[in-house]
Amino acid sequence: MLRFLARRIALTIPVLLGVATLVFSLIHLIPGDPAQAMLGESASPQDVAELRARLGLDRPLLEQYGRFLRGAVSGDLGRSLRTNQPVTSAIIERMPATFELASAAMFVAVAVAIPLGIAAAVWRGTAVDHGATTLSLLGISIPNFWLGPLLAIIFSIELGWLPVSGRGTWAHLILPAVSLGAALAAILARMTRATLLEELREQYVVAARARGASRARAVVRHAFRNSLIPVITLIGLQFGAVLTGAVITETIFAWPGIGRLLIQSIGFRDYPLVQGCILLIAVTYVGMNLITDLLYGLVDPRIRYE
Amino acid sequence: MNRVGAAIVLIAVVAALFGPAIARFDPSAQELARRLDGPSAAHWFGLDELGRDIFSRVLAGARISLLVGIVVVSISSVVGTLLGSIAGYFGGTVDEAISRVIDILLAFPGLLLAIALVAVLGPSLTNVVFALSLIGWVGYARLVRGQVLRAREFEFVQAARALGAATPRILVKHIIPTALPAVTVQATLGMGGAILAEAALSFLGLGVQPPTPSWGTMLNGGRTHLLDAPHLTIFPGLAIAFLVLGFNFLGDGLRDALDPVTRRSGR
């Protein structure tokens, strides 16, 4: 297990380095002078030169790169151009809100998808199955930037049951979590159904059926447990999609998380903050994938000896 | 499912091609006195914040959505198929290099890299297409690489090699065709994905810029009028969901039709 662990972690390091390199180069992709772009057309040459020096843009590229990498490792990503707050602390402040939203969305997704997937597999080919399949295709097709406002129109404006935006109480969390979790629920339900149907063809399930177990019992007692492994993997791998979705959901519901910070920073051309947010989301995603991989290896010994 | 999907896509294509002939109003003509008016006999989907006919704008938006989808999917699938087959066929250092680039690009979840790229390059339709293609090829390359690794060992490929066929000929004539069914399915689903991504970027203000009628931009405009004019949000969103559903139906149907395993088990 230790060798497996070391190998997987070693494989992650070049990916992280690549991610950091790409995030570093973002600022150099800005057409023209990045410092001028950040300050706007009307900025004086003196201000532009000052900002260039402050961001280290006047240094040789290799030196800038080295400084960026050292900073990324030590958690020093510079300061926000607008508020002068350290980028790291601005991000840390917003992290709890994003993780709260992402966890709630994943909870909603699992709570809806697993029963739906099981029902579709148990009653395969019936109206229940067709209904569940159509519902999950709808879930994948409806964009969260439409579902969010739609839910707000129905539950906040028409019915007045839930707040339209902001963060604070449980009620504030419901609409953003549902609109963010819907697509994941759809993907998970499809996956649950597919893996369950696959498991149902396995001999141990056939044997259970031969001993007189009903189809529902065969699904729930026998096949479900084994089909959980790919489903859990998918949940881990989809965490990144949830984080990106949060960028949109947070913008819609004025949820004070990292996604909203990212979009606001883009609006203000606060590029150090933009870089910080992108780096954090990508690194979290890589970390989640690594954890999923390691857990997978822990649950299924065959993976470790691949 | 296949037929429903095809019908939906056909409706969108007709809207994109003949939109100006079908629409009764110019999508950019403003009637400020009647701004935010709800749906009526004259204006089926109502009027937007500048008094423009939403039905005409939804028809015009189909053009942008399909255009982005077609261009992004074409670039991504061609580049991805080429790089994927090169990586799979040659193996070794070439494969290593291409696979590492794929790993790094896959380390950015979904839209994030597109958001980052458009944020620095500036919001425009061209930059959206560039950003989405830059990410899009990765999926095709991974898919094709896997298919090629398998196809490399097929007898007819080895026979071609034994007969002295040149590598490009083996790749184009014998290996890539074996990956085409899978690429077709991915491209169909990819159309839906690209349309969604463009709409998301435009919704965030990072994509197509007003006054060009894109569904995402229209949804963005509707955000401030959620309370007084929800029809600004409902119709463009419906159009996006409808078209993406069409491509998903079509992709799912194609996958079932092309995959002997699912066809047999009726999944």
The model's confidence at residue A206, banded by pLDDT at 50, 70 and 90, is: confident
**B95 or A41: which carries more pLDDT confidence?**
B95
User: What's the CA gap between A196 and A202, in Å, rounded?
Assistant: 10
Which residues of chain A lie closer than 8 angstroms to B222, CB-CB?
149
Please say if the pLDDT value at position A19 is more than 80.
yes
Sign of the Cα pseudo-torsion (A4, A9, A10, A11, in order) = positive
CB-based contact B110 A27, cutoff 8 Å: no
B219 to chain A: nearest residue by CA? Answer: A146
Rounded mean pLDDT of B6-27?
A: 90
The model's confidence at residue A54, banded by pLDDT at 50, 70 and 90, is: confident
Please say if the pLDDT value at position B53 is more than 90.
yes
Rounded mean pLDDT of B108-125?
A: 90
pLDDT for position B261: 57
The model's confidence at residue B262, banded by pLDDT at 50, 70 and 90, is: low
Rounded mean pLDDT of B225-230?
A: 88
pTM for the predicted model, two decimal places: 0.89
**A89 or A214: which carries more pLDDT confidence?**
A89
Question: Element (H or E) spanning A53, and its range?
Answer: helix A45-54
The model's confidence at residue B239, banded by pLDDT at 50, 70 and 90, is: very high
The model's confidence at residue A43, banded by pLDDT at 50, 70 and 90, is: confident
Query: Where is average pLDDT lowest: A139-148, A163-172, A212-221?
Result: A212-221
Please say if the pLDDT value at position B260 is more than 80.
no
Please say if the pLDDT value at position B264 is more than 80.
no
The rounded mean pLDDT for chain A is 88
B235 to chain A: nearest residue by CA? Answer: A146
pLDDT for position B134: 93
* Percentage with pLDDT > 70 across chain A: 98
pLDDT for position B267: 42
The C-alpha torsion from A219 through A292 and B135 to B128, rounded to 10°, is 80
Triad A210, A215, A218: Cα angle to 5°: 75
The model's confidence at residue A305, banded by pLDDT at 50, 70 and 90, is: low
Lookup: tokens for A8: 């997987």
pLDDT for position B266: 44
Distances (CA, A) of B166 to B30, B153, B161: 61, 16, 8
Q: Is A111 helix (H, G, I), strand (E, B) or coil?
A: helix
Which residues of chain A lie closer than 8 angstroms to B192, CB-CB?
141
The model's confidence at residue A55, banded by pLDDT at 50, 70 and 90, is: confident
Lookup: tokens for A238: 């989809």
* Percentage with pLDDT > 90 across chain B: 60
Task: State the SS3 of chain A.
Answer: CHHHHHHHHHHHHHHHHHHHHHHHHHHHHCCCCHHHHHHCCCCCHHHHHHHHHHCCCCCCHHHHHHHHHHHHHHCCCCECCCCCCEHHHHHHHHHHHHHHHHHHHHHHHHHHHHHHHHHHHHCCCCHHHHHHHHHHHHHHHCCHHHHHHHHHHHHHHHCCCCCCCCCCCHHHHHHHHHHHHHHHHHHHHHHHHHHHHHHHCCHHHHHHHHCCCCHHHHHHHHHHHHHHHHHHHHHHHCHHHHHHHHHHHHHHCCCCCHHHHHHHHHHCCCHHHHHHHHHHHHHHHHHHHHHHHHHHHHHCHHHHCC
Residue A89 CB-half CA count within 13 A: 6
pLDDT for position A96: 94
Q: Which residues contact A259 (CB under 8 A, 6 or more apart)?
A: A98, A243, A246, A247, A248, A249, A250, A251, A277
pLDDT for position B107: 86
CB-based contact A266 B206, cutoff 8 Å: yes
Lookup: tokens for B58: 């939804």
Rounded mean pLDDT of B113-136?
A: 93
Query: Where is average pLDDT lowest: A83-92, B109-118, B136-145, B254-263?
Result: B254-263
Q: Does A186 touch chain B (CB under 8 A)?
A: no
Which residues of chain A lie closer than 8 angstroms to B234, CB-CB?
150, 153
Please say if the pLDDT value at position A113 is more than 60.
yes
Contact B134, B115 (CB under 8 A): no
Which residues of chain A lie closer than 8 angstroms to B230, CB-CB?
149, 153, 157
pLDDT for position A293: 82
The rounded mean pLDDT for chain B is 90
DSSP class of residue B173 equals: I
Q: Does A142 touch chain B (CB under 8 A)?
A: yes
Q: What is the pLDDT of residues B70-109, one digit of tens each?
A: 999 999 999 999 999 999 989 899 999 999 999 899 888 8
CB-based contact A252 B223, cutoff 8 Å: yes
Residue type, A289: N
Q: Does A152 touch chain B (CB under 8 A)?
A: yes
- Closest listed residue to residue B35, CA positions, set B222, B206, B189: B222
CB-based contact A157 B204, cutoff 8 Å: no
